Structure formats: structure tokens, C-alpha cells
Amino acid sequence: MNLKFAMPLAICCAATVGCQKHATADPEVEYKVDRFADIEVIRYTVPGFDSLSLDQKKLIYYLNEAAIAGRDIIWDQNCKYNLPIRAMLEAVYTNFDGDKSSDNYKAFETYLKQVEFANGIHHHYSMDKFTPLFSREWLAEAVNELPAESKPENFEELAEVIFNPEVMAKRVNQADGVDLIATSACNLYGGGITQQEVEAYYNKLKDPKDETPISYGLNSKLVKLEDGTIVEEVYKVDGVYGKQIEKICELLAKASEYAESPAQKSYIDKLIEFYRTGSLKAFDEYSIQWVEDTADSVDFINGFIESYGDPLGMTGQYESIVNFKNEKASHRTELISENAQWFEDRSPVDPRFRKPEVKGVSAKVITAAILAGDAYPATPIGINLPNANWIRAAHGSKSVTLENITEAYDIAAHGNGFAEEFVIDEPTRQLMDDYGFITDNLHTDLHECLGHGSGRLLPGVDPDALKAHGSTLEEARADLFALYYLADPKLVELGLVDNADAYKAEYYKYMLNGLMTQLVRIEPSKDLEEAHMRNRQLIAKWVFEKGQPDNVVELVKQDGKTFVKINDYEALRGLFGQLLAEVQRIKSEGDYEAGRQLVENYAVKVDRQIHDEVMARYNALDIAPYKGFVNPVYTPVTDKNGEITDIKVSYTEDFLPQVLRYSKDYSF
């Protein structure tokens, strides 16, 4: 699973080597858009768009429209009740003419925003179902006042899903020892089907000797018929999500007319073929063509990509990001990718698990033009694709860092008081202020460009052997690779940093986040569920424990508050390398039991005392733990014949107006 999400509570900005120290805000743009519950919605800009050619703008415009056209897919994938509940809530909001100052209405508005942000009734990160703070009776009365055509026929059923905490309680359950499908509310499998049946179904299809295995289950839904037969319902034009996919194909075809090269046109057309046929072999062919095209400036992902939303890590959720290359900032990623073999050859893992020849590693810094599907409103800051291991080994991978997104994070977080509250002393704060922005971006670059692309499976090892723990361990592997090499003198030699101690800024931030501050995203008494959070705690707690005999890292008290203190940065790097070697061994050998123990022992359980303290200190700062984005609005300018002469970008649309417009204009 090859995405890197922003760590919460960003202290320093994201900027590139050689650029200004902090991100520069556009004085005409209001970056902070909305704040509700535990969410802050912010705005990103698209610098450089106006300088693109007209054909590039048209290409981006149609790719953007195709991206948003699949919006309802992710809603339905997240839970089968999401779309009817959304329609009901939006109808109440747009038709309500009662007392908008009442507690019930204010709570309803907050709930609506939470649901819109999460693409459904479950929190986008914790996966827990939202608890409405308005009454069932109030909602029933508001629905009763709706026009007849807007009233749901099954209100009581929808209300039961919303208000009963026992119904559809967890979107993705990762608890050990239970049927993960039966206990997950996601709509990726049919009713009555069990985890054992799903695993047995796909195990029969897999050939361990196949050197080019397709990603079974990526674009389909397993359902059980009345006679007990299990069949696949495929996501394609004449199948599941057919109306949405037909619209996506129509818009991709328009985009294809403005492709920057024959190669780009070819893989856009191949993606259309995949959507029309549902053939995973066509998707692999598209992925190969896509990854081999490194010349074009405009790029995109669109499809059933990541499987974090599947408790078994198989079915891809709809996602799209459209972007174009940031030429200046891409210098650092090009340096990294050019030296990929150097890093692979010196990795601290067993040589049996290294790639003897690293192929096709390309990396760039991009400017995101639109976020959609599972990448909206919350989005990754780095991407490495494709996910198929055999394609990565034979054809390489593409890695990107979304720099206009990280810059928006920094602008919104500037001066929030976090560093003063949680970083142990002024010298460490100064180190992070001086080098945090460089090392944070380099961490993303190394994670995506080299981390996910490093290592290899031994012959015959099933890529899905780690099952439900695969996502956590893959993210840990990529993070550890990045952390290990951040401290390598090679980065100074390449001119990516100008101080051999710069890596310490990211080491401190990572340990602080993994041991303490990411816990602000967890409700009291809850354990860690989300793969990226599990990954960070696994790494931080493992190295903390293994380093105790030498006091490498400790938790100390100052004025009654707990702080992370790193006593030996060099030894900490060594521990990162040891853990990387073990996680790579687990993946290369498909050692499920060892992987399960690592996750269960280090990644899941929360220190309740630390959690309580972090929450109290964090709440005093009044910072939202989660951030997401509204998209820019792209408006075609046409001449008297209806021909597009330009595409204008605006940054004025607010959160609820945007999602309500999407529901109106992009539901098919």
C-alpha cells in the first residue's frame, strides 16, 4: 500500500532544498476554510497552472472532471447506507426553515460536515461510526417536513443505522481473532460471506508459479448467492458502478484528445479499456505503460488503487489525483532516484532480500490540481505506484511528493504553539525550525521513491501473505528505509542537505509523534486501528524498547509534563536499521506469524496515561487533529463558437457549498 500521509501536528513547513525556509502564503487566498469537531478544512493553491499551455489546461480540466465523476463510488464502497443517508441529510440541510440557532440544528450541521468530510458515516481515520449529538426525534420531524420527492422511503432503517451504536459500528475492523469481514461495515463484500470463504476463493485462483500475477479482487465485490455459490461482481461499465464508470470513460476520452504524447494517449485509452471490460490484465497493461511514461508533465492516477479500506487488503477503493510536475523542486527527487541502486546495495537488510537490479525508479515533486475519491478531502502527501510487486520489479515505479499540499499544511499550522508545548527544549526546537522542512520532505521522497520500491519477495511468496497486517508492515518498511538513510552522509554528498546533523530534526519529530502526539487522534479507551498510525507506533515503541539498555531514547518529566528525549541519535539510526532488516525479512519470506506478533505487540495498544496527558495538553492549544482540503474550481472560458480558449482557477468556494455542488452535479 503505497501512500504516505501527513503526520499530524506538523511543526515545520514542507519546502524544497534551496527554496525559502517556510511556505509563502498567497495574500489573496483564505487558507483556513472551516473548523468543526476534530477537523480543520483548508485550501491549497495550484501555482504554475496559468503558465501551462492551453492543451495542458484542457487535459487537466477533463482529467479533473473524470476524477470527480467517481465520487459516489467511494461513498458506496465505504458503507452501503452512505448514499441514501447523504441524500437525506443534504435534503434536510437545504430545505430546513426551522430554528437554526437550536442545539439540535447546530449538532446536525456538524454531523453533516463530518459525514461529508469522511465520505460516509464513519470517521476517515479511526473508522468508528460518528455519534450524532442531535436527537432522533428532531431528525424525524425535519425529514417529515421535506418535500415528498426528497423523503426517504426507509427513514426508520436509516435512522437505526445513524443512531444505534451497535449497527455498522466500525468501517474497517483490524482486531485480531475475529472475522474481519463480518465485523466491518465497508461495502466491499456481500452479506453473509465470511473471511475464510473470501480467502479460500482467491487462494484457488492464485498460481504460486505465476511470475505476473494479477491483483485478484482489486475491482470486484464477492457476493454469496442464495444457493451458497460465491461469485465476483466486477466494477466496470456494464457492472457494478456502471453509470459512474461510463461517465469517467467519457471524460477520459475527452482528455485523451489533449494528451501530451502518444505514450500518454495510449495509457489513457488503455485505462478506458480496463474500465469498460473490468479486465485486470488490462489494468496491469495500463500500469506498465503509465509507469514507463516519465517524460510528460501532466500526470494522474484514476482507479481502484489502495486497499486500506478493505480489512483483508485486497479490494481497491476509488481514488484520483490530477497533477503536473514542479520542475524546480523535482531536482532533489531526481537525484535520489538516480542513486537508487546505491541505496539498495547498502541497505541493512539481508542481501537475499535486496534487488540485484533496481529498475525504472522515477520520482518527482508535483503540484496537485484536483483531489478526488479516497484522496478527498483528506489526502496523502506522497504516492508510490503501481502496487503490483511484479510490475515494480520488472518495470519500476513512480514516486511523487505533493508539495503544494504540504505547503498548505504548513501555512495553516504556522504559529499554532505545538513546538513550544511538546518539543523538549529550545535547541531541539531550533534544529527542527532550521531543518525540519528539508528532512520532512526528504523523508517523504525516500519513503515513496526508494522505500516502497526496495527489497524483493522470495520466489513463490504470496504478495498477500501478511493478510490484514500487510498495510501496516509495508508502511513500516518504507518509513524505516527513509529514516535509516536520512542520516546517511550520502545526502550531504548529493547536496540534498548542508548539515550532517539535519536528520536529527526528523528523528525527533518521528519519535515524538510515534510515542506521544499522534494519540490525539484516538478516542479514550480505543486502540490504534489505522495502518499508518500503527506503523508509526510500531517503529517508535520497538526502537524505544530495544534501546532501553543503552538509554537511547527516554521519556522524561519536566514541570510535570512528559517529553521525548533522544540521547544517542547514531544508535537510534542503528535500531531503525535492525528493524528494517526484520520487517523486510518478514515481507520477503511471507512470515505472517512474525508480522502479526510485531503488529500486535507494538502497534495496537495505547498507553492510557500518556494518552490522557497528550489530550489535555493538546486540547489547550485548540488545534484540530485532522486536516483536509477543498478543491480549486476550474471554469472554462469559451468563445462565441463554444470553443475553450482558457481555463480559469478560483479559490473561493467553501467546504459545504463544494460538497453540495458535487452531490448535485456528479451523481449519476
* pLDDT of 69 over the 70 cut: yes
Give the pLDDT mean for 133-145. Answer: 98
Cβ atoms of 125 and 530 closer than 8 Å: yes
The yes-or-no verdict on residue 51 having pLDDT over 80 is: yes
CA distances from 59 to 50, 245, 251, 372, 492 (A): 14, 19, 10, 16, 39
What mean pLDDT, rounded, does the chain reach? 93
Is residue 511 predicted with pLDDT exceeding 60?
A: yes
Of 54-63, 131-140, 449-458, 636-645, the one with minimum mean pLDDT is: 449-458
Please state, as a whole number, how many other Cβ atoms lie within 10 Å of the Cβ of residue 615.
Answer: 16
In this prediction, residue 6 has a pLDDT band, given cuts at 50, 70 and 90, of low
In DSSP terms, which residues pair with 372 in a beta bridge?
320
Question: What pLDDT is attached to residue 21?
Answer: 45
Does residue 627 contact residue 40 with C-beta atoms inside 8 Å? yes
Q: Look at residues 244, 299, 290, 300 and name the one whose alpha carbon lies nearest to residue 263.
A: 290
Contact 60, 324 (CB under 8 A): yes
Query: Grid coordinates 487488503 are at which residue?
Result: 313
Q: Region of 541 please: left (phi>0), alpha (psi -120 to 50) or beta.
A: alpha
Query: What pLDDT score was predicted for residue 5?
Result: 53
Instruction: Tell me the pLDDT tens digit for each residue of 92-113.
Output: 999 999 999 999 999 999 999 9
Distance CA 513, CA 523 (A): 16
How many whole angstroms separate alpha carbon 660 and alpha carbon 214? Answer: 38
- How much is the average pLDDT of 420-427? 96
pLDDT, average across residues 8-20 = 32
User: According to the model, what pLDDT value does residue 16 have?
Assistant: 29
Side-chain half-sphere exposure of 517, counting CA atoms within 13 A: 27
* Local confidence band at 361 (pLDDT 50, 70, 90 cut-offs): confident
- Mean pLDDT over 142-166 rounds to 97
- Contact in structure between 439 and 486 (CB atoms under 8 Å): yes
Distance CA 447, CA 385 (A): 12
More confident residue, 362 or 620: 620
Fill in the amino acid letter for 171: R
pLDDT of residue 7: 47
Per-residue pLDDT of 448-481, as tens digits, reads 889 988 999 999 999 889 988 998 999 999 999 9
What pLDDT score was predicted for residue 14?
Answer: 30
Q: In this structure, how many other beta carbons lie within 10 angstroms of the beta carbon of residue 496?
A: 24
pLDDT for 579-616, tens place per residue? Answer: 999 999 999 999 999 999 999 999 999 999 999 999 99
pLDDT of 23 reads 61
CA distance 618 to 9: 10
3-state secondary structure 32-99: EEEEECCEEEEECCCCCHHHCCHHHHHHHHHHHHHHHHCHHHHHHHHCCCHHHHHHHHHHHHHHCCCC
- pLDDT tens digits for range 567-578: 999 999 999 999
Reply yes or no on whether the pLDDT at 657 is more than 70.
yes
SS3 assignment for 91-160: HHHHHCCCCCCCHHHHHHHHHHHHHHHHCCCECCCCCEECCCCCCHHHHHHHHHCCCHHHCCCCHHHHHH
Average pLDDT over residues 531-536: 93
**Separation of CA 194 from chain center:** 27
The DSSP call for residue 470 is H
Who has greater pLDDT, 602 or 384? 602
Residues 6+ apart with CB under 8 A from 611: 519, 522, 524
Whether residue 280 has pLDDT greater than 70: yes
pLDDT at 12 over 50: no
- Given this model, what pLDDT does residue 37 score? 95
Residues 6+ apart with CB under 8 A from 468: 174, 180, 311, 312, 313
Highest mean pLDDT among 197-201, 435-439, 519-523: 197-201
What pLDDT, on a 0 to 100 scale, did the predictor assign at position 19?
34
Nearest to 348 by CA among 580, 589, 588: 580
User: Residue 529 — pLDDT band, cuts 50, 70, 90?
Assistant: confident
Bigger pLDDT: 61 vs 396: 61
Cα separations (Å) of 368 from 126, 291, 322, 328? 26, 18, 6, 15
